[in-house]
Structure formats: structure tokens, C-alpha cells
Chain A
Amino acid sequence: MSDGAGRWWSWALISWAVLASGLEGQVPSASNYLLSPDERARLEADLADVEARLAEVQALEFEMREAATLRPGNVGPDHVRRDVGPVEIRGPRHLLPAAAGAATHALGQFRGLSDADGALTALRIDIHDAGEVESLAPPYAGGSGTAVLVATAEDVRALVDHAVRRHVLEAIPQPLVPWSGGWGWDSAFRPDDGVRLMVQSTNRDGIACLQRRDLEACAGYLALSYDGSTESKLALLEYHYPASAFLPPTPVSETPRTDDLLGRCVFEQRRRGTPDARGTCLADLASREYATLGLLPSHPSARASLVAHALQLGGDGALTRLMRRPDGGSVGAHLAVVAGTSEAELVRSWQEDVSGRTGVFRSEGGERPGPASLFWAGGLALLALRSTRWRLG
């Protein structure tokens, strides 16, 4: 075939292909003859409706299955029970030893909790193996007195520990726990951080407490008069943020930091022309517990160091005694009960311990290397003397 004829055939084939593809969409297919446009629309609507219903049914089924499985008190066929003090644990046999160990450890960490059976209400923990439960729910701690956990062998200890700690902290009369940031109650707490922050504090009371040993300044710095009421919050904020600090020539910064709650609030109120911007803001912030506690000059870990000190002073059963006390009263009065002494005496002894690094304030800075370090240094030396035994070549 000549080149001219070949080119002609090529053009013919391409033209046919282009025309055929252009006509295909215009020629009704066989299926379109079976349905009218109305019928087709109705069917499509029905299909969409069925899909939506199917999704609803599946969601409902999922919720029912999850509720049936994870409801407190619902236990699987292979679940066994183990009691640790006031904590009743039910769960798969293979997860129970770790869970019981974690509960024992968590209860043992609380200082002064010597009579857990008498002081704590019962806690029931139901554990489900994460590998066997069809759930998208996160590991879940339930309401007061119950906890339902979806755990693996790796995280069961941490989850049980969290549930037990939360249960103990819930039993402590308010407002001690939010005031201390939830710290200081167990032996895992290191007061050194609190002291370090206290040393670095720019608050006048904090410095006077540490350097002049002014006990009233200590009480002010630690906000011992806090009792959780709006009045006490407002009084503390009025004390730590006096009106003189907001008068010219020290006005609130033109660009307060985002974490400067009070500064931003006063800035906003002044911009709106509110006559008493500071008073309005203090009243507003005093209605919120975490805002108030966040504005106090002392860091929660410094306040928690007083908790740890009080528990050490109170000795055996200190926390148990506190739990039997009703809510209310200032934190100073509560901690005095824990320590078994007066509030003034508690602050004095705390100040002495902070200054002398005694009691719970054993300094981290002077920490000596532990015996394990000496063991490794010696062990490696012995290995070096016997090194020919492990030559590879």
C-alpha cells in the first residue's frame, strides 16, 4: 500500500471514531427506554432514602451494641472479679492481675490514706478487652462510683490508675483539689518544682515569705483563705490585683498577651468605656473557678507542696480524717485538719521546711547518684577485666 492510501485510511478511521463517540450520548440506550424520567427520579429518591435508613439502622445497631457491652455492671462471660480495698474490679482474666496491681499501687501512693475501706466509697471498675469490643468510644471512666474501661494489656495499668486516683480525689472535700491542681496528695508528687517556681516568683508576698519569713505573706501567697465561694475569689483577686496597679502611669498594656486574662478583659472594657473596668473584670473572673485560680500568683505546685507537707505532718490516717469532713471552709482550715494542728502552725512549719529543705522538701539539686549507678560502673569494670570471654574475633 502506498503512503498516500495509508494516510487516507488513517484519516477515515479517526474521523469515524470521532463521529461515533459524539453520537453515542445522543442515541438513547436500551435502559432509558424502560423508565420514564419521572419513574427514574422516584427510584433515585427511594434509593437515597433506603441508604439513609440503612445508615440510621447501622448507627442504632452500633449504639445498642456499644451500650449493651459497655454499660456499667455488664460483664462478659469470661470476666472474673477481684477486690482491692474498696475497689471492685471485674474484667477478663488476662487483664485482671495488671489491673489489680495498678489499683493497689494507686491506693498505696496516697499519703495518709491508711484506712481506705472506711473512708472511700466503693468503686466498681468494669474492664473490657479492647480487642473484643466493637467500639469507637475512647477508654471511658463513668460516673461516681463506677468506671468502665476499654483497655489493652499495655494501657490497662494507666487506665485503672487514673480511675482510682480520680475516685480518691472526688472523695476529698472541696475546694482543696482544684486549689492544689489535684497535686500533692500522692507520693509521686515532687515539691521541688513548687519551690523552684516560688523562688522565681515575682510576687511581693512570695518573696517576702521566702526571704523575710513573713508568715502572713506566705498565707497570702498561697491563698489560704480560698473557700470556693465567689466572695472569697473576689477578695483574693482584689488583694492580688489592687486598683493602684491599674492606675496611670501603669495602664494595662496596649497589646495584652492572649494568656493575660485580666489584662485583656480590662483592655476590652476600657475600650468600651466601662467606668470601672478593673472591678467589672474581677467580678466576671471571680465567677469562674479556673480563671480565679489561674490568676493567683502562686503556681498550683507551690500550693500542692503545702498539701504534701500537711499530709506528712498529719501522718497515718490524715487523708482519711479529711475525707470524713464535709465540704466548705477555707483551704487553710481544711489542711490544718489534715495536719492535725492550727493553720498558723501549719504555715510556720511549712515555711521552715521550705527554707531548710527538710521534710517533703528534700532538695532535688543535691541528689546523690543512686546505688544502681554505682552498680553499673562496677559491673562494666568487671566486664572489662573479663573481656576476653566475649571476643567476637
Chain B
Amino acid sequence: MGIQMLKLHWRAARWPMLPVLVAAFGLPLMAGSAAWGATYSVDHLSASGAVAVTDGAAVFGLTFAIVAAIAGSILGISAWSWDHRQDHVYALSLPVPRWKYSALKFGGGTILVGATTALFALGATTSSLLANLPAGLRAYPGALSLHFLIATQTAFALLFALASGTMRTATIVLGCVMGLAIFGVPLLDFLGNFWSPLGDFDLVRFAYATLVENDGPLSIFAGNWMLFDV
């Protein structure tokens, strides 16, 4: 049954995942392309090469986090798309408890997350092997792939949890988040005219501190995503 659910999940996710998989393999290669075939010597000052490599790694590092978030989100949402389409009738007719059904779906999604990460790791390792790095710089394909795995899995689990309810649930939760993101600050400014503490409340800072800083749920998407670093 697990295999069947994995196949079903892949069929639902394959088209949106295709460009993501290409990016997961290709972006690490592009990040290292500046260092391929580069030559350095002490007398000829290798520093400019080091700047190019670290700058490239920093820029592409941002895209790795985005690819991880997109991959996890697609896999999380697509896990339940068939159930939503058929109003959960098939799932309810199965002689398995809800938690087991969800666990099977989650396990299938985790395998797809692992496959995406494997592709990313392949690209990162190939890029690292091809790169001729100046002294002082190192490649971190293993650590970065682990980072990518956890980030993708976090995004997958978050969206999987959200999508496992009804469409109404997802709409309400996402609507609240979007509403807060768009109207939160102006609304607090307006309410601050009546009660000043509300006006002083920094919603953006609070959200960032809660979600990203202090080991928040999205903290994995921050931090160092550089394939080549000191």
C-alpha cells in the first residue's frame, strides 16, 4: 500500500517538481563553475579568485534555501491533492486508521524529499570535485546537503500538516497569514491611535524573531548556505 501511495504522490507532484529537480542538481554546479579549471599561485595573488568563489557561493546559497522551500511545499501540498479531489471518500473507505494512512503518505513524501536531496547532493559533490579552490577555502557538499534535507523536510512537514485538513482549513490558515503579512502593520498603526502599545508593537520584528531567530521553526532557512567557504 505504501508503494502505491508513493506512486500516487509522485504522479501528483512530478510536473511541478520537474523544474525544481533540475534546479536542485544544476544550481550547485553553477555555484562552483567560477572555480572550475581556475589556477592560482602565491606570486600572482589568488585573492581575487577567492572573492569570486565566495561571492558566487553566497549568491547561489540564497537560491538553495528557496529551492528547498519550494520542493518541500510542492511535495507537502501534492500529498493530499487526490484526497481533496475525491472528498476523502477513498481514504475513509480503507480499513486503516487515519494516523496510519497519514503516516504512509508522510513516509512516501519523505522518500521524495530524500530523492530531491540526493540529486542536490550529487550536484554539490560534482561541483566540489571539479572546483579548484584557492588556499583557505573549502567545499562543504555533505554539510550543505544535510542542511538542504532538513530544510526541505521542514517545509514538507509544514505544508503536509496544513494540507491534511480540509481546503477550508488551509484557506483560513493561509488567509490569516497573508492577511497579517499585508494588513498587519497598517492595522496596528491604526489601532495604535486608540491604544498606543499596539502602535508600538513591531509585528515584522516579532514574526522574524519568533519564526526565524532563536531556533524558530524556519531558522533552518537562515544561516550559512554556502557551498564554498572558509
Q: Do A and B come from one complex?
A: yes
Q: Does A29 contact B (CB under 8 A)?
A: no
Task: Name the interface residues of B187-230: CB closer than 8 Å to any CB of A.
Answer: 215-217, 219-220, 223-224, 226, 228-230
Complex interface: chain B residues within 8 A of A326 (CB): none
Complex interface: chain A residues within 8 A of B147 (CB): 368-369
Contact A393 B138 (CB under 8 A): no
Q: Does B20 contact A (CB under 8 A)?
A: no
Whether A377 contacts B230 in the complex (CB less than 8 A), given A367-B143, A372-B219, comes out as no
- Nearest-neighbour CB distance to chain B for A369, whole angstroms, equals 5
- Nearest-neighbour CB distance to chain A for B224, whole angstroms, equals 5
- Nearest-neighbour CB distance to chain A for B63, whole angstroms, equals 17
Complex interface: chain A residues within 8 A of B51 (CB): 200
Complex interface: chain A residues within 8 A of B223 (CB): 367
Q: Does A188 contact B (CB under 8 A)?
A: no
Q: Does B161 contact A (CB under 8 A)?
A: yes
- Nearest-neighbour CB distance to chain A for B107, whole angstroms, equals 10
- Nearest-neighbour CB distance to chain B for A76, whole angstroms, equals 24
Whether A195 contacts B136 in the complex (CB less than 8 A), given A369-B146, A370-B215, A380-B161, comes out as yes
| CB 8 Å contact bits of B108-134 with A (1 = contact, 0 = none) | 000000000000000000000000001
Q: Does A388 contact B (CB under 8 A)?
A: yes
Q: Does B186 contact A (CB under 8 A)?
A: no
Complex interface: chain A residues within 8 A of B160 (CB): 380-381, 384
Contact A391 B165 (CB under 8 A): yes
Q: Does B103 contact A (CB under 8 A)?
A: yes
Contact B169 A381 (CB under 8 A): no
**With contacts defined as CB atoms under 8 Å apart, how many contacts are there between chain A and chain B in the complex?**
137
Q: Does A208 contact B (CB under 8 A)?
A: yes
Smallest CB gap from B42: residue in A: A211
Complex interface: chain B residues within 8 A of A388 (CB): 98, 164-165
Complex interface: chain A residues within 8 A of B54 (CB): 196, 199-200
Complex interface: chain A residues within 8 A of B143 (CB): 365-368
A341 to B75, CA, bound (A): 57
- Nearest-neighbour CB distance to chain B for A353, whole angstroms, equals 12
Complex interface: chain A residues within 8 A of B173 (CB): 392
Listed stretches B6-14, B30-38, B149-157; interface member: B149-157
Task: Name the interface residues of A335-393: CB closer than 8 Å to any CB of B.
Answer: 357, 363-370, 372-374, 376-377, 379-381, 383-388, 390-393
A319 to B112, CA, bound (A): 53
Q: Does B24 contact A (CB under 8 A)?
A: no
Whether A365 contacts B229 in the complex (CB less than 8 A), given A208-B42, A391-B165, A392-B165, comes out as yes
Q: Does A202 contact B (CB under 8 A)?
A: yes
Interface size counted on chain B using CB atoms at 8 A:
48
Contact A364 B229 (CB under 8 A): yes
Complex interface: chain B residues within 8 A of A387 (CB): 102, 161, 164-165
Whether A202 contacts B146 in the complex (CB less than 8 A), given A365-B140, A388-B98, comes out as no
Whether A211 contacts B169 in the complex (CB less than 8 A), given A202-B45, A365-B143, A370-B215, comes out as no
Contact A386 B168 (CB under 8 A): no
Smallest CB gap from A383: residue in B: B161
Q: Does B181 contact A (CB under 8 A)?
A: no
Q: Does A210 contact B (CB under 8 A)?
A: yes
Contact A384 B138 (CB under 8 A): no
Smallest CB gap from B72: residue in A: A377
Q: Does A207 contact B (CB under 8 A)?
A: yes
- Nearest-neighbour CB distance to chain A for B178, whole angstroms, equals 16
Q: Does B5 contact A (CB under 8 A)?
A: no
- Nearest-neighbour CB distance to chain B for A65, whole angstroms, equals 25
| CB 8 Å contact bits of A170-212 with B (1 = contact, 0 = none) | 0000000000000000000000100110111110101110111
Whether A207 contacts B46 in the complex (CB less than 8 A), given A365-B143, A365-B228, comes out as yes
Contact A391 B99 (CB under 8 A): no
Smallest CB gap from A191: residue in B: B230
Q: Does B29 contact A (CB under 8 A)?
A: no
A390 to B161, CA, bound (A): 10
- Nearest-neighbour CB distance to chain A for B225, whole angstroms, equals 10
Contact B150 A377 (CB under 8 A): yes
Q: Does B39 contact A (CB under 8 A)?
A: no
Smallest CB gap from A197: residue in B: B230
Q: Does B166 contact A (CB under 8 A)?
A: yes
Whether A199 contacts B47 in the complex (CB less than 8 A), given A192-B230, A210-B136, A369-B146, comes out as yes
Q: Does B180 contact A (CB under 8 A)?
A: no
Complex interface: chain A residues within 8 A of B18 (CB): none
Contact B47 A392 (CB under 8 A): no
Q: Does B70 contact A (CB under 8 A)?
A: no
Contact A392 B169 (CB under 8 A): yes
A372 to B219, CA, bound (A): 9
Whether A365 contacts B226 in the complex (CB less than 8 A), given A210-B135, A210-B136, A385-B103, comes out as yes
Whether A364 contacts B224 in the complex (CB less than 8 A), given A196-B54, A384-B106, A387-B164, comes out as yes
Whether A372 contacts B135 in the complex (CB less than 8 A), given A211-B42, A391-B165, comes out as no
Would you mind naming 6 contact pairs between A and B with Cβ atoms under 8 Å apart?
A207-B135, A211-B135, A357-B230, A364-B230, A386-B99, A388-B164
Could you tell me which A residues sit within 8 Å of B by CB distance?
Answer: 192, 195-196, 198-202, 204, 206-208, 210-212, 357, 363-370, 372-374, 376-377, 379-381, 383-388, 390-393
Given A195-B136, A357-B138, A388-B98, 5 other A-B residues pairs in contact with their CB atoms under 8 A: A200-B51, A367-B224, A368-B143, A381-B161, A390-B165
Could you tell me which B residues sit within 8 Å of A by CB distance?
Answer: 42, 45-48, 50-51, 54, 98-99, 102-103, 106, 134-138, 140, 143, 146-147, 150-151, 153-154, 157-158, 160-161, 164-166, 168-169, 172-173, 215-217, 219-220, 223-224, 226, 228-230
Closest 7 CB pairs of A and B: A365-B229, A372-B215, A380-B157, A199-B136, A393-B168, A384-B161, A387-B164
